[in-house]
């Protein structure tokens, strides 16, 4: 029957050839970074052919890893849908993130303008900066792809092609592997009369919309370094506007941590290429952070010399990189099939963020990059910070409702989440005589599931219990999820959990734990919970946020809610965000003497709304101070305790 085969091949040949020669992806996006008008960029899409007469085109309401609403559609204007002849099709904007296109079966092109989220006129909640977008003409472009590119309802799956026209002297840092770099400009549709001098086009492919959104790209003057970690090539791409820090210095700083992480993960990395993309800002910042992706992570941080940020940089990098384990490998269905416009949250932030955060610290003590004292101090800080949050609501519910009811509890995922992981790790070690750890469990789960196989959100606890010990099931019931049924909708289950068993866990490790310890000492009359931040003439200043917890000296000084702190003993407080702030307060504290006065100059707004400088004075005196969650290795620890501690710290003989 050979001839028949030949006939079919002949018939099919022209079609196959056509598809191959054009090599076009269903979604073809073109962006021209050299054409910035009014701080906005023009984007064109040749969309997949549509069969339906009416289709909705979406920008994401939310992207994975941020756990908060972004509404990227806010930054998109003048969206036009065109047919083959260039005639506009009717388009109706349905809400912040969706456009309904009529006669979509005739659609051949979509075009629009995108504003960036970092410096914008658009109103509403700020987007988490590492998930935001930046357009600084000729200098820097942060393309968090969800902010630049949309998708059609029900059509996340087809391939995407990005053609990015860029000035010749900029470089794109990304975890994507470029299909072609600097391809000839005539391969893309350019407006007639476009000046093509000094321009090239980078071509990238993504296998679906999830992959696209998972792949940020930053364009800037090249400042890169490469670290080889086992099988993986790790790219560092950096943008430091005043040149205070370089990619080469960052690489030197995080190299050791990455090497330790590789060992921790069993000697090899689960990726071949990974990119750390850093944007450093020289503007004052009140919040900064980083966001994980499968093949990269993006960092938005204040610009400083490497010496001043070493530890934080390493902590951040270790955390984001460990997300490769969870949720990027071990995750539930809610994350696997992420709904960008109607998201369902998983119950397991204790694992995605908590275990990740815990591992990021644990790996550093296990491989001697931090001392035991520094590690214990990190744990203590988490315990103190966690005290500001709800403690008796199951963490599964905090997680499930993190977009709405419990949004103000989100930050606790890095505190209590990590502490849950710590307790679980020690429990596992104890029950297995030091043999099995949380790392082993996570590696087993990675093996069992993996990037393309999700677990059932409500079966994870039973699964882990079956893989480990019945006592672990009991641990989850008492401290993480409660004993009742899991909540199914936004109605709380009413379940309650017990405070984490710190006493027992630290006892097992031969570490002395004291929940509270009180003594007398000097203070400046203010403490962290009293303080907030306000802007005076666009400069961030400390403010008395609440007088509810003022100590005796604070009360004697007579602080009022809303007082803006300007000076102590007539010495001006340095600008927040400047590196001198900590030293200034330390110096003021050291200078306190019984029998002298302390004064604060504050900006106080009176009942007529006028702000006046006011000086508050009180005699210096020692006040009752309480310190919480004191931890110290017990010098009299038993051999059993020492053995468990050694196993925990990866120091078993």
* Beta carbon of residue 15, minimum distance to Zn ion (angstroms, whole number): 47
Residue 321 or 648: the one with the smaller Cβ distance to Zn ion is 321
Q: Where are the alpha helices (DSSP H) in 240-390?
A: 247-264, 306-322, 333-336, 349, 356-366, 372-386
CA angle 68, 70, 72 (to 5 degrees): 160
Contacts (Cβ under 8 Å, ≥6 apart) of 639: none
Q: Which has the closest alpha carbon to 176: 230, 132, 227, 218?
A: 218
* Structural tokens at position 262: 């590789």
> Measured from the CB atom, is 209 or 414 closer to Zn ion?
414
Cross-strand pairs, 378: none
**The token pair that represents 611 in the structure block:** 């702000």
**Pick 76 or 335: Cβ nearer Zn ion:** 335
Classified as helix, coil or strand, 417 is helix
Q: Smallest distance from the beta carbon of 353 to Zn ion, in angstroms?
A: 5
Nearest CB to Zn ion, comparing residues 358 and 522: 358
The beta-carbon contacts of 221-225 under 8 Å, at least 24 apart in sequence, are 221/139, 221/169, 221/170, 221/171, 222/170, 222/171, 223/247, 224/171, 224/173, 225/250, 225/251
Nearest distance from residue 254's CB to Zn ion, in Å? 16
Please check whether residue 297 is in contact with residue 277, taking contact to mean a CB–CB distance below 8 angstroms. yes
By beta-carbon proximity to Zn ion, the closer residue of 75 and 414 is: 414
- The DSSP output letter for 594 is T
Of residues 163 and 346, the one with the C-beta less far from Zn ion = 346
DSSP 464-478: HHHHS-HHHHHHHII
Of 155, 156, 163, 189, the closest CA to residue 50 belongs to: 155
Nearest approach, Cβ of residue 319 and Zn ion (Å): 6
CB of 351 to Zn ion, least distance (A): 11
Residue 302 C-beta: closest distance to Zn ion, Å: 19
Angstrom distance (rounded) from CA 67 to CA 73: 17
**Residue 375, both tokens:** 């590690």
Name the token pair of 478.
């008492």
CB of 175 or CB of 510, closer to Zn ion: 175
Please identify the residue of the shown chain whose CB is closest to the bound Zn ion. 353
Whether 302 and 577 have beta carbons less than 8 Å apart is answered as: yes
Nearer to Zn ion, 65 or 510 (CB): 65
Considering the complex, what minimum distance in angstroms separates the CB of residue 197 from Zn ion?
Answer: 43
Closest to Zn ion by CB, 209 vs 316, is: 316
Interface characters, 347-386, with Zn ion (x: CB under 5 A): ------x---------------------------------
> Of residues 324-353, which lie at the interface with Zn ion (CB under 5 A)?
353
Q: Which C-beta is closer to Zn ion: that of 150 or that of 343?
A: 343
Would you say 294 and 67 are in contact if contact means Cβ atoms under 8 Å apart?
A: no
Q: Does residue 139 contact residue 125 with C-beta atoms inside 8 Å?
A: no
Q: Which is nearer to Zn ion, 128 or 559 (CB)?
A: 128
E strands, 351-444, in order = none
Pairing of strands 27-37, 160-167: parallel
**Alpha carbon distances (Å) from 304 to 45, 222, 250, 297, 312:** 39, 19, 12, 20, 12
Smallest separation, CB 290 to Zn ion (Å) = 8
Shortest distance, position 2 Cβ to Zn ion, whole Å: 59
Site for Zn ion in 62-121 (CB under 5 A): none
Among residues 245 and 324, whose Cβ is nearest to Zn ion? 324
Query: d(Cα 346, Cα 349) in Å, to the nearest integer?
Result: 7
For 104, how many CA atoms within 13 A lie in the half-sphere containing its CB? 19
Size of the site for Zn ion (CB under 5 A): 1
Residues 196-215 that bind Zn ion (CB under 5 A): none
Least distance CB 356 / Zn ion (angstroms): 5
Cβ count within 10 A of residue 624: 11
Q: How far is the CB of 352 from Zn ion (least distance, A)?
A: 7
Nearest residue (CB) to Zn ion, 291 versus 524: 291
Name the minimum Å distance from CB 463 to Zn ion: 22
**Distance of closest approach, residue 414 Cβ to Zn ion, in angstroms:** 8
- Euclidean distance between CA atoms 366 and 370, whole angstroms: 8
What does the alpha-carbon distance between residue 279 and residue 310 come to, in Å, rounded to a whole number?
16
Name the token pair of 274.
């990974």
Neighbours of 337 (CB within 10 A): 11
List of residues contacting Zn ion (CB under 5 A): 353
């Amino acid at each position: 029957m050979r001839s028949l085969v030949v006939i079919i091949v002949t018939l099919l040949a022209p079609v196959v050839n056509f598809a191959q020669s054009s090599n076009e992806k269903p979604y073809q996006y073109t962006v021209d970074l050299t054409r910035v008008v009014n701080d906005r960029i023009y984007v064109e899409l040749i969309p997949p052919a549509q069969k339906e007469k009416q289709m909705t085109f979406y920008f994401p309401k939310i992207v994975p890893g941020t756990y908060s609403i972004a509404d990227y559609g806010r930054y998109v204007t003048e969206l036009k849908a065109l047919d083959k002849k260039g005639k506009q099709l009717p388009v109706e904007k349905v809400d912040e993130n969706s456009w309904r296109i009529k006669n979509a079966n005739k659609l051949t092109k979509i075009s629009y303008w995108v504003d960036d989220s970092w410096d914008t006129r658009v109103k509403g909640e700020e987007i988490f900066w590492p998930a935001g977008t930046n357009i600084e003409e000729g200098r820097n472009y942060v393309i968090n792809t969800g902010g630049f590119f949309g998708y059609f309802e029900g059509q996340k799956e087809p391939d995407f092609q990005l053609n990015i026209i860029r000035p010749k002297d900029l470089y794109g840092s990304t975890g994507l592997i470029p299909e072609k770099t600097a391809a000839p400009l005539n391969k893309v549709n350019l407006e007639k009369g476009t000046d093509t001098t000094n321009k090239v086009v980078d071509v990238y492919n993504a296998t679906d919309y999830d992959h696209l959104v998972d792949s940020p790209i930053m364009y800037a003057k090249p400042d890169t370094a490469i670290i080889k970690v086992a099988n993986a090539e790790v790219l560092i791409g950096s943008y430091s506007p005043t040149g205070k820090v370089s990619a080469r210095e960052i690489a030197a700083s995080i190299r050791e941590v990455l090497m330790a992480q590789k060992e921790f993960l069993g000697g090899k990395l689960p990726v071949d290429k990974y990119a750390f993309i850093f944007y450093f800002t020289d503007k004052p910042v009140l919040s900064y952070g980083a966001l994980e992706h499968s093949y990269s992570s993006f960092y938005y941080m204040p610009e400083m010399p490497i010496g001043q940020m070493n530890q934080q940089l390493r902590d951040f990098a270790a955390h984001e990189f460990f997300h490769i384990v969870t949720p990027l490998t071990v995750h539930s269905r809610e994350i696997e099939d992420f709904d960008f416009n109607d998201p369902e949250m998983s119950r397991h932030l204790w694992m995605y963020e908590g275990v990740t955060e815990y591992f990021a610290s644990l790996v550093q003590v296990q491989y001697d990059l931090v001392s035991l004292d520094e590690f214990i101090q990190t744990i203590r800080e988490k315990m103190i910070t966690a005290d500001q949050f709800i403690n008796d609501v199951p963490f599964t519910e905090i997680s499930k409702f993190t977009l709405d009811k419990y949004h103000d509890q989100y930050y606790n995922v890095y505190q209590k989440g990590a502490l849950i992981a710590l307790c679980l790790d020690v429990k596992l070690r104890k029950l297995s005589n030091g043999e099995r750890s949380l790392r082993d469990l996570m590696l087993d789960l990675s093996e069992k599931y993996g990037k393309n196989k999700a677990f059932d959100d409500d079966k994870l606890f039973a699964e882990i219990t079956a893989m480990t010990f019945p006592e672990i099931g009991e641990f989850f019931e008492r401290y993480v999820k409660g004993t009742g049924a899991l909540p199914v909708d936004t109605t709380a289950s009413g379940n309650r959990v017990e405070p984490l068993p710190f006493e027992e866990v630290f006892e097992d490790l031969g570490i002395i734990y004291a929940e509270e310890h009180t003594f007398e000492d000097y203070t400046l009359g203010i403490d962290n919970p009293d303080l907030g931040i306000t802007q005076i003439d666009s400069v961030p200043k400390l403010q008395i946020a609440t007088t509810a917890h003022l100590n005796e000296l604070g009360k004697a000084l007579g602080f009022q809610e809303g007082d803006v702190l300007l000076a102590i003993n007539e010495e001006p407080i340095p600008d927040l965000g400047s590196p001198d702030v900590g030293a200034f307060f330390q110096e003021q504290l050291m200078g306190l003497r019984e029998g002298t006065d302390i004064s604060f100059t504050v900006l106080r707004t009176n009942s007529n709304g006028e702000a006046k400088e006011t000086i508050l004075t009180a005699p210096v005196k020692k006040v009752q101070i309480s310190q919480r969650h004191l931890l110290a290795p017990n010098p009299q620890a038993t051999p059993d305790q020492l053995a468990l501690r050694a196993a925990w710290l990866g120091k078993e003989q």
